[in-house]
Structure 1
Amino acid sequence: MDKFAILSSGSSGNCIFLEYKKTKILIDAGFSAKKIEYLLGEIGKSPKELDAIFVTHEHADHSKGLGTLSRKHNLPIFANQGTWKGLFNKCGKLKEENIRLFESNKFLSFGSMDIYPIKIHHDANEPVGFIIYIGNKKITILTDTGIVDDKMAYEIKGSDIYYMEANHDLEALKRGPYPYPLKLRVMGNMGHLSNDQSAEALADALEGKNEKVFLGHLSETNNTPELSRLTVDNYLRSLGLDTDKDILLDVADRYKPSGIVEL
């Protein structure tokens, strides 16, 4: 059965599984290979079934298990040139044929999927989100960006599934325990989207046509699932979007599979 599933989401680790017409991929691998194998098992899948891993950027919560998974299961890893520059010292030795390159802001086809790696704004070498076209469905995966610029806002419109960062509550971040330089990093243009920023981006993109929205990459220190959902829900409702009828709104789980959609 074709499936979209968020295996894990947050600063502890990020990983998404997508299957369509026998093509099976992971997007990011931010836990150990052993943990990702377990998470795949929780949705009835095995890493032996995978065809590739696509990487948004080199930070450890998105790349920790890449090298081991690739070596153990002979998996190609797709990333752009900037991300590979940051990955080589983290992944260990890889087979040359498993080091695959894509260009940001340029479509590529992989199996049954057309994938658009879109440039985002984060303090990594060359970070991207992914917009994926499968059949008549469009999926947006957008985390680890400090802002949503006009091009990003335009490209994500019309998606059927949105996996959107809602990293922090701004007031919680300001009053929280992070050192001041880290607070500035998180709330800056190269940091992470707040609940309010996520709500605004979603309000611009959503059409109220039963889209499925999953808020992700929540900070364990400066946010809660309840606060994130409430903030986005209230904003969308204030604009006339009914989150009981027009869309599905949920929050991705930090440590277990969630956001599972049969495609």
Structure 2
Amino acid sequence: MRLCSITSGSSGNCIYVGADNTHLIIDTGISGKRIENGLNQIGLKTADMNGILITHEHSDHISGLGVLARRYGIPIYATKGTIYEIKKSKSVGAIPDDLFQEIQEDTEFMINELTVHPFSVSHDAAQPVAYRISREDKSIAIATDLGKYDDYTIDNLKDLDVLLLEANHDINMLQVGSYPYYLKQRILGDRGHLSNELSGRLLCKLISDKLKAVVLGHLSQENNYEELAYETVRLEISMGEAAYNPDDFYITVAKRDCISELITI
């Protein structure tokens, strides 16, 4: 299995996950041209994709969806609430109804040899989900846009090989920054985004001998930067109660504006 972040950040998100015979895109929050260029860099084309998994309907996750769907006829997997909101979006445009494949939280489905397990996250969208994707004994998860985590979140992210996890903001940068008060409260709230600190604390509960790589993603352009997210998460792990330290597995940060490295397990 393989994971590659085409882009990940507050300005647009698109993640590739695949195996030998199946290729998936999680979210399409950038232009079709940028998605194609990113896939080309790892030896693939948009036409190779077997499915598009949508986490939720915010524009930084669906802005390129209409173009891709109409041009390539790729099936779109999303919850009922997310599909409803996508169909209302004027910026996405009309998408043929038969491309939509309605999914439900905690109900697994297959796309060729990959098992996809959607699970609920706490975010201010209609019916948002994260995804755990598995093949035999290998599992990769993409979990962003979650304002909080609980035992349910932890259970869905245990025993992974690779995890792309949100580290959206530094709390201090957000609080003293230029965002209006209501937006700061939204981001800091239970239906907002995970801070660097919370991301590190969640990781402390997920580290195992199986975990090989963590990709920190969905960084805010205004309230975070790569080095700060990386060091804060490592510090939380060092200070945590887990019997592991940050050097026991690979940690990297997804790029906001360009393709990140291809991780293979």
Q: What TM-score do you get using the length of structure 2 for normalisation? A: 0.95
1:243 aligned onto 2:242? no
Distance 2:57 2:101 in 1: 14
How far 1:7 sits from its partner (Å)? Answer: 0.7
RMSD: 1.3
Counterpart of 1:45 in structure 2 is: 44
How far 1:135 sits from its partner (Å)? Answer: 2.3
Counterpart of 1:88 in structure 2 is: 87
How far 1:8 sits from its partner (Å)? Answer: 0.5
Q: How does 1:131-170 map to 2 (within 5 A)?
A: 131-170=132-171
Counterpart of 1:21 in structure 2 is: 20
Distance 1:207 1:259 in 2: 23
Figure out how many residues of one structure are paired with residues of the other and give that number.
Answer: 261
Counterpart of 2:260 in structure 1 is: 258
Overall identity of the aligned pairs, in %? 36
The more displaced of 123-132 and 252-261 is 252-261
**Structure 1: tracts of 5 or more residues without a match:** none
Q: How does 1:91-102 map to 2 (within 5 A)?
A: 91-102=92-103
Counterpart of 1:228 in structure 2 is: 229
How far 1:237 sits from its partner (Å)? Answer: 2.0
Counterpart of 1:70 in structure 2 is: 69
Contact 1:167 1:219 in 2 (8 A): yes
Task: Indicate how the Cα distance of structure 1 residues 171 and 208 shifts in structure 2: closer, same or farther if over 3 A, else same.
Answer: farther
> Which residue type is aligned with residue 77 of structure 1?
I
Deviation per CA, 1:230-256, whole angstroms, max 9, x where unpaired?
Answer: 001112123452333x11011111111
Distance 2:3 2:46 in 1: 15
Q: How does 1:107-146 map to 2 (within 5 A)?
A: 107-146=108-147
The more displaced of 211-220 and 41-50 is 41-50
> Which residue type is aligned with residue 40 of structure 2?
G
Residue aligned with 1:45, SS: coil
Q: What TM-score do you get using the length of structure 1 for normalisation? A: 0.96
Contact 1:57 1:124 in 2 (8 A): yes
Contact 1:43 1:257 in 2 (8 A): no
How far 1:259 sits from its partner (Å)? Answer: 4.0
Distance 1:210 1:110 in 2: 24
> Which residue type is aligned with residue 241 of structure 1?
Y
> Which residue type is aligned with residue 155 of structure 2?
Y
Distance 1:153 1:76 in 2: 29
How far 1:96 sits from its partner (Å)? Answer: 2.7
Counterpart of 1:4 in structure 2 is: 3
> Which residue type is aligned with residue 114 of structure 2?
M
Distance 1:187 1:217 in 2: 15
Task: Indicate how the Cα distance of structure 1 residues 233 and 9 shifts in structure 2: closer, same or farther if over 3 A, else same.
Answer: same
Contact 2:200 2:237 in 1 (8 A): yes
Residue aligned with 1:159, SS: coil
How far 1:102 sits from its partner (Å)? Answer: 0.5
Deviation per CA, 1:74-94, whole angstroms, max 9, x where unpaired?
Answer: 111111100011100333222
Distance 2:9 2:56 in 1: 15
How far 1:99 sits from its partner (Å)? Answer: 1.3
Distance 2:75 2:182 in 1: 37
**Structure 2: tracts of 5 or more residues without a match:** none
Distance 1:211 1:104 in 2: 26
How far 1:131 sits from its partner (Å)? Answer: 1.0
Counterpart of 2:29 in structure 1 is: 30
Contact 1:140 1:161 in 2 (8 A): yes
